[in-house]
A and B are shown apart, each in its own frame.
Chain A
Amino acid sequence: MIGRPGSAATTAAVAAAVVLALAAAPLVLAPYAVTVLTRILVFALLAMSLDLLVGITGLPSLGHGAYFGAGAYAAGWVTLHASPSGPVALLVALTAGGLVAAAAGCVAVRARGIFFLMLTLAIGEIVQQLAESWHEVTGGSNGLYGIPAARVGGAALVGDQAVHWWVLAVAATAAAGLWLLASSPFGHALRGIRDNEARMRALGYRVYGYKLAAFVVAGAVAGLAGGLLSAQQRLVTPAELGLGTSIPALLAVTIGGAGTLWGACVGAAVVVLVRDHLGASLGGHGSLLLGAVFVAVVYLLPGGAARALSMPRRRG
Chain B
Amino acid sequence: MTDAGMTDAAMTEPGKGAALSCAGLSREFGAVRAVDGVDLTLPAGARHALIGPNGAGKSTIFRLLAGGLRPGAGRIWLDGADITRSSEARRARLGIGQTFQHSSLFLSMSAGDNIALAARRRLGRPWWPLPTSGRAERERADQLLAEVGLAGRAAAPVALLSHGERRQLELAVALASRPRVLLLDEPAAGLSPAESARLAALVGELPADVALLFVEHDLDLVFRLATRVTVMHLGRVLVSGTPAEVRGSAEVQAAYLGTGAREDLFTGRAT
Interface set of A (CB-CB < 8 Å, partner B): 1-3, 8, 180-181, 183-189, 191-192, 194-196, 198-207, 209-210, 213
Contacts and interface: CB of A to CB of B under 8 A. Distances in A.
A287 to B, nearest CB: 32
A69 to B, nearest CB: 26
Given A198-B104, A204-B89, A204-B93, A188 B120 contact: yes
Nearest to B141: A2
Interface string B96-139: 00101000111111001100111011100111111110100110
A191 to B, nearest CB: 7
A199 B117 CA distance: 11
Closest 8 CB pairs of A and B: A204-B92, A195-B106, A204-B93, A2-B134, A183-B131, A185-B128, A186-B129, A199-B104
A135 to B, nearest CB: 39
Given A2-B116, A204-B93, 16 more contacts: A2-B138, A181-B130, A185-B120, A185-B125, A185-B126, A185-B132, A186-B129, A188-B120, A189-B127, A192-B106, A202-B89, A204-B89, A204-B122, A205-B121, A205-B126, A207-B89
B88 A191 contact: no
A3 B138 contact: yes
B66 interface: yes
Q: Max chain A CB contacts within 10 Å: which of B66, B118, B125? A: B118
A186 B113 contact: no
A180 B126 CA distance: 15
Contacts of B131: 8, 180, 183-184
A189 B104 CA distance: 15
Interface in B127-159: 127-132, 134, 137-138, 155
B177 interface: yes
B113 A2 contact: yes
A184 B129 contact: yes
B68 A198 contact: yes
Contacts of A196: 104-107
Nearest to B95: A204
Interface residues of B, number: 38
Contacts of B155: 3
Q: Max chain B CB contacts within 10 Å: which of A187, A203, A206? A: A203
B92 A201 contact: yes
Interface of A is mostly: helix
B121 A203 contact: yes
Contacts of B109: 1, 191-192, 195
A185 B129 CA distance: 6
Interface of B: 66, 68, 87-90, 92-93, 98, 100, 104-109, 112-113, 116-118, 120-122, 125-132, 134, 137-138, 155, 173, 177
Contacts of B105: 195-196, 199
Contact of B113 (A1, A184, A205, A213): A1
Q: Max chain B CB contacts within 10 Å: which of A2, A3, A192, A194? A: A2
Contacts of A2: 112-113, 116, 134, 137-138
B59 to A, nearest CB: 14
B129 A181 contact: yes
A210 B89 CA distance: 13
A191 B126 contact: no
A184 B128 contact: yes
B132 A184 contact: yes
A128 B110 CA distance: 42
Given A196-B104, A202-B66, A205-B89, A188 B177 contact: no
A186 B134 contact: no
A191 B108 contact: yes
A202 B138 CA distance: 21
B69 to A, nearest CB: 12
Given A196-B104, A203-B92, A210 B116 contact: no
B93 A192 contact: no
Contacts of A210: 127
A199 B118 CA distance: 10
A180 B132 CA distance: 10
A205 B173 CA distance: 14
A202 B177 CA distance: 11
B91 to A, nearest CB: 8
B135 to A, nearest CB: 9
B77 to A, nearest CB: 18
Contacts of A3: 112, 134, 138, 155
